[in-house]
Amino acid sequence: MTTVTGYESNRVSSLTTVFQLDDEWRLATGKGVSIAVIDSGVDTDHPDLAGRVKGSFEARVDNKRILFDPSEKGDSAGHGTACAGILAKVAPDADIYSIKVLGAGGLGDGHAFLAGLEFAIKNRFRVINLSLGTTKPQFFSPLHDLLDRAYQAGCIVVAAANNLPQPSFPSVFSSSLISVFKSDETDPLRFGFRFGEVIELTAPGVNIRTAWPGGGHRNLTGNSFACPHISGIIALLLEKHPNLTPFQVKSALYAIAQENANEKAGASAPEFAK
């Protein structure tokens, strides 16, 4: 049993949240929870993902507007399939939706990224996995506005930190989303929390074996692959506690991470001779 305490403040009021979180979520599978993967597409024919991808959409430019159409083109870079493969391991019964905004080599246009996030928010996907970001300052404000909209719509946005020392958006907006950095931990349930850091949560992201287009697998390292571990954990929480707000989910993750840290410290503490 985890006691979750959080304090949320906005322009109108302040709210202290205290609730009990039982351990049943650890046995959940993410059933009934929708996760949008905004990325390079997903290979829906991969054996690890068969039947788990409920919809695929791809960005299309129409007279300077970016629209999203159903698509069967799959993955153009492998990155999205790798992230979806991790989600399928952590939350095997979650409903995965692919929103393709990246092309070959994992490259894409920032405006398509914004449009993909807006599309996910409009469709109210419960969890939005962003294993991508941008360093271009012109996208700072529009991304911040979209994250506010996501929060108000009840969408929980999880973003990977930049693999380079340069900060990327939106992962640095730690007040309005859940940001993730890789660790060498191997158990997804043993995620960590870095208090006071811009990128707060840590999750497995080193030498992760996951799906790759064409039915294969690769061992991959990067913050991109830590991100879906946390998205999957959130799906487990939401299956058992579907009414949690984004704020409560974040508070729950912090409480669980603190328990993980306490258990690790206790396990490594020296024993005195009797």
CATH number at residue 164: 3.40.50.200
Q: Which residue has the higher pLDDT, 7 or 136?
A: 136
Tens of pLDDT along 11-25?
A: 444 556 677 888 899
181 strand-pairing partners: 202
Residues 93/118, Cβ–Cβ less than 8 Å: no
The pLDDT value given to residue 105: 80
Whether residue 25 lies inside any domain: the answer is: yes
pLDDT at 13: 47
Look at the block and give the residue holding tokens 């993909």: 116
* pLDDT value at residue 19: 72
Q: Which of 40, 171, 179, 224 is catalytic?
A: 224
Percent of the chain with pLDDT over 90: 76
What pLDDT shows up at residue 17? 67
pLDDT band at 79 (very low <50, low <70, confident <90, very high): very high
Question: Between the CA atoms of 169, 175, 181 and 185, what dihedral angle is there, to the nearest 10 degrees?
Answer: -160
Q: What is the pLDDT of residue 4?
A: 75
Residue scoring higher pLDDT (5 or 60): 60
Query: For 173, which DSSP code?
Result: -
Q: Is residue 240 part of a domain?
A: yes
The answer as to whether 59 is a domain residue is yes
Q: Would you say residue 165 lies in a domain?
A: yes
At 98, list the tokens. Answer: 């692919």
Instruction: Please confirm, yes or no, whether 224 is among the known catalytic residues.
Output: yes
Does the pLDDT of residue 89 top 80, yes or no? Answer: yes
Q: Which of 39, 43, 75, 95 is catalytic?
A: 39
Domain-located, residue 58: yes
256: pLDDT strictly greater than 80: yes
Asked whether residue 11 is domain-assigned, the answer is: no
Pairing of strands 53-62, 65-70: antiparallel
Within-domain flag for 44: yes
Percent of the chain at pLDDT > 70 equals 92
Is residue 165's pLDDT more than 90? no
Q: What total number of domains does the chain contain?
A: 1
- The confidence score (pLDDT) of residue 224 equals 97
Q: How confident is the model over 214-232, as a mean pLDDT?
A: 98
pLDDT confidence bin for 142, thresholds 50/70/90: very high
pLDDT at 264: 81
- Residue 16: the pLDDT is 60
The catalytic position among 34, 79, 168, 231 is 79
Any idea which of 19-28, 36-45, 149-158, 201-210 has the lowest mean pLDDT?
Answer: 19-28
**Domain boundaries, position 132:** 21-268
Is the pLDDT confidence value at 270 over 60? no
Mean pLDDT of all residues in 40-65: 94
Angle (CA) 164-167-11 rounded to 5° is 155
Query: What residues have CB less than 8 Å from 65, skipping those under 6 apart?
Result: none
